[in-house]
Amino acid sequence: MSDEEPVAGWELSRDGRHEHYRKRLANGVTVHARWDGAAGSVEARVEPTGIGRTLTSSRTEFRDKEAFFTAARLVVDMAANLPSFHMGAETHAEHALGGEVAGNVDAMPGSGGVPEAELTFTLTDGRSVTLILTEEQADDLTSKIYSLGKHVWSEQREHEERVREEVREIAELRESVEVPDVSQVDAGPDTGHELMTVLERRFGVPQDFLLAHVDWSAVVVVGEPAVSTLLDRADELAEAIAPRWFPGAVERPGEVWVVLHRAFPG
């Protein structure tokens, strides 16, 4: 008999054309499955060596290996729900493995030659967990995740849609504002850094209250008393930063932002 090797959660050993599968369960039950290419058998026994009391067994003829593995999985599902058969004092089962998943979930076809899915999760504590699901279990998981997407995560999607709508409104507001004729006035700040200098020196708003877009298309003022100061001096602010910049106000949940948009040539 050849050495044992892991296959789809089973311990496999071969003897000629015979394949012997073994799966040891936490409650002291061991499931043995034997396949010879045309027929097979599945048994759940109390002892891992195969000589203990038989708890259940399957038929011995299957139309193909897929039907054989289906019967084996059914026996495992049944045996896993039995009480512990360990001798001596009973002990509490270990806590279920849990943790936050890091990165993506790897999904691969089952390695046992049957319609199974192997899902591998890498946890943030460094552990790796592989779950082997039957076709029916995978379909059930997909359905339940879809249900989560419809209900649990719908509020998050609604929030994202509101944010996108606010961005569109800001863009429309910028397009509708007419840039005043500044040919007869002194030039205001040009670059974003010059604008930040004007805000600090003239209005007392330091950089701690400022957020700038990566492309410097806008500078956002967040927090008090900076926002109230600029709103109270809105006319003075507009004059100080023209013609390259123009101000606007955006209402956020529980607060107001002052957004200084850069005026690009039409």
Tens of pLDDT, residue by residue over 239-258, are: 999 888 999 998 888 889 99
Give per-residue pLDDT as tens, 51-102: 556 666 656 677 788 888 888 888 888 888 777 766 544 444 455 667 777 7
In the chain, % of residues over pLDDT 70:
77
CB distance 120 to 111 below 8 Å: no
Among the listed residues 174, 195, 184, 187, the one whose alpha carbon sits nearest the alpha carbon of residue 250: 174
Distance from C-alpha of 8 to C-alpha of 30, rounded to nearest angstrom: 16
Question: What span, in angstroms and rounded, lies between the C-alpha atoms of 219 and 204?
Answer: 16
pLDDT of residue 115: 62
Q: Cis link prior to 225 (omega < 30° from 0)? A: yes
- Give me the phi and psi of 84, to 5 degrees please: -65, 140
* Ordered alpha helix ranges (H), 39-179: 65-80, 135-151, 154-176
Residue 27: pLDDT over 60:
yes
| Alpha carbon distance 124, 266 (integer Å) | 50
**pTM for the predicted model, two decimal places:** 0.39
| Percent of the chain topping pLDDT 90 | 17
| Dihedral in degrees, nearest 10, Cα atoms 228, 229, 230, 232 | 80
What strands lie across the sheet with 5-7, from one edge to the other? 5-7, 10-15, 18-24, 30-35, 40-45, 54-57
Quote the tokens at residue 245. 């910049």
Say whether pLDDT at 193 is over 60: yes
